[in-house]
Structures are given as C-alpha cells and as structure tokens.
Amino acid sequence: MSSSDDNKKESLIKLATNIMSHNQSLESFNKGLELVNEALKLDPDYALAWNLKGNVLIGMANLEEGIECLDKAIKLDPELAAPMYSKALVYQKLGKYEEAIEYFDKSLDLGFKSFENRYVDIYFRKGLILNQIGRYGDAVESFDEILKINPYSFDALVSKSLALGFLNKYDEELECLEKVLELDPENPMIWANKSAVLNELKKFEEALKCTDKALEILEDKGLGVQNKNQNKQVTWHVRGNSFLGLKKYDEAVKSFDESLRLYSEGDIPQVYIDSLIGKGNALAGLNKFKEALECYNWVLELSPDSAAAKKGKADISAYKSEK
C-alpha cells in the first residue's frame, strides 16, 4: 500500500469517528459506515477499521454482524485493546457477564490500564457486573481500584457501599456513605441508606435522625411527584424498622402505614412487601395478632415464598400454643 493510501485510510477513520461522536443519529451511522468501508477497500486488513465498523453496526442494533467485525479486528491484531473493550460492552448489554468481565480484563492487559478514563470506566462496569452476579468481595476490589485514583468518586462510593451491605460489613458501608454525604449532603436516599445501615448496627436513635433529615430534604427537593413518593416510601419503611428496633410498636405501625400509603399503582415494589411484613411484626409486638396475620397473609398472596411472612405466622402460632 502506498503512503498516500495509508494516510487516506487513517483520515477516513478519523472522519468517521468524529461524525459519529458528535451525532448519534442513523444518518451519522450510515455516513460513518460508508467511510469505514472506503477505508477497508484501501486496506482489507486494517484492524482499526474493522473495530470501528463493528461499533457502528452494534450502534445500529446489528449485534451479530458487529461482533463478527470485532472478531475480525482481534484476529488481525490480537494486541489491539479497543475491540476487546467493545466486545465486553456488548456482552454486558446481553447479560453475558462472565464473558464481559473476561474481555474487560483483556482490554486492560492490552493497554487500557494506561488511560485513566478508560481504566475507571472498566473497573466501574466490572464492579456493577460483580454486584449483579453476587460476587460482592470482587466488586469491592473493583470499586477500590477507582477510589485509589479518586477517593471521592461518588458512583464508586455508592456502589461499594451496596456491595459492603451484602457482605454485612456495616461499619465499612457506613464509612462509604458518610463520604458520599460529604459530597452530596442534600441527597435524601443516601440519608435513608445511612439510616438503614445504622439500623443494622442497632443504633436506632441515630437512624431516626437520618430519616428525619431525609424527609426534611424530600419536602424541599424539587422532584417529580412519583420520584418523591418512591423516595418517601423507602424512607418511611426504614423509619418503621428503627421504631421496631426500639420496640416502639405504635410508632412503627404509623411509619409502615405511611410507606404503604405512598404506593400508587403498577408493579408491587419490594419495599411495599417489606413494609407489610414490618407492620405485621409491629402489630404482633402489640399483641394484635389478628391484624398481624392479615398483614402476613397479604404478603403471602403477593409473594408466596416469603420466609419472613411464614416466620411471622409461625411465631404467632407458637406464642398462642404456649398460652
């Protein structure tokens, strides 16, 4: 290939990249594909062009052909990180999480470790995947890689806190959430999350102060009605659990009722079921067993395998038999 053709193919790829990065329309994708194909006519073994063609086709929802192009790029240049990363993104989108992790790791090994933005992006994506498939310890390690670069990465801290919660490492989870609140002290859901962690640590009075703060913010925050109600629903549920821990059962019932009241329509969220269970537990604490059983039975209609509702019913039966 002449140096002129070599320069031209590189220019075509740069132009295609610029067009598509500034405009994600179908027209831009078609123009980008046209330019990439011109580059491939000049050099059918141009790995970068095959990588870009794969990305264009994937962007146009042609996943099968797009992956074939990425594989072609990898075959032509096994040391090229970009198609490895692109394949990882596709696998993540398809829910093929183990394959996604494999290709993210390959892209890091082939050079993306040297690019901070890409490095952070990959470890964040890996962490989210690892959380999703239940590998919480590995997820924490991924988020820690980001926090080594930026100790106050909001997204990494929030996601790490979730993983630590699943690992029952509540003191460490609390540390993460406190750092998040330094960054965003007016975030009501972080206050609610902190309250839930304090409940796990049996620091119920502190937990109530956090839900006070969350509800105060929610009254002032300019959220849409649906989002505000969803956030309040979670916060009142957490508050109910704090009162349960303090054995203030009347207050717990009121809080769970408030959470239940805020449900409007659509699919039943887990917090609704959890609030019914919490209300049942509070009513049982007040020896209002008939009303408690109504809550547990309602839960079992919505979620027939609920171990908590079955346990609540069993505990009431055992209590009654002892009497």
Does 243 have pLDDT greater than 90? yes
Structure tokens belonging to residue 5: 């053709």
Q: Span 16-45, mean pLDDT?
A: 88
Burial bucket for residue 315 (CB in 10 Å: 0-12, 13-18, 19+): middle
Write the CATH number for 186: 1.25.40.10
pLDDT band for position 286 (50/70/90)?
very high
Residue 203 in contact with residue 245, Cβ under 8 Å? no
Is residue 91 in a domain?
A: no
223 pLDDT tier (thresholds 50, 70, 90): low
* Counted domains in the chain: 1
Q: What percent of the chain has pLDDT over 70?
A: 96
Give the span between the Cα atoms of 1 and 41, in whole angstroms: 11
Alpha-carbon Rg for the chain, nearest whole angstrom, is 26
Domain membership flag for residue 191 = yes
- What pLDDT is stored for residue 267 in this prediction? 85
- pLDDT of 224 reads 59
Whole-number Cα distances in Å, 275 to 53, 169, 253: 51, 24, 9
CB of 176 closer than 8 Å to CB of 161: yes
pLDDT at position 71 over 90: yes
Confidence of residue 195 (pLDDT cuts 50, 70, 90): very high
Does residue 56 belong to any structural domain of this protein? Answer: no
What is the Cα–Cα distance from 177 to 151, expressed in whole angstroms?
Answer: 13
pLDDT at position 198 over 70: yes
Q: What would the DSSP string read from start to end of 280-316?
A: HHHHHHTT-HHHHHHHHHHHHHH-TT-HHHHHHHHHH
In a domain, 57, yes or no: no
pLDDT band with cut points at 50, 70 and 90 for residue 132: very high
Q: What is the mean pLDDT of the chain?
A: 93
293 pLDDT more than 70: yes
Asked if residue 220 is part of any domain, the answer here is yes
Q: Calculate mean pLDDT across residues 88-114.
A: 92
Let me know if 10 is exposed, middle or buried by CB neighbors in 10 A (0-12, 13-18, 19+): middle
**Has residue 157 been placed in a domain?**
no
pTM metric for this prediction: 0.86
Higher pLDDT, 228 or 277: 277
Residue 43 has pLDDT above 70, yes or no: yes
Q: Does 2 score more than 80 pLDDT?
A: no
- Per the structure, the complete domain to which residue 282 belongs is given by 177-323
In a domain? residue 255 = yes
Residue 19 lies in a domain: no
Gap between the Cα atoms of 78 and 146, Å rounded:
27
Cβ of 235: how many Cβ atoms within 10 Å?
A: 30
Predicted confidence at residue 1, as pLDDT, reads: 53
Neighbour-count burial for 282-294, b at 16+ CB within 10 Å, e otherwise: bbbbeebbeebbe
pLDDT at position 23 is 77
Rounded-to-integer distance, Cα 256 and Cα 243, Å: 10
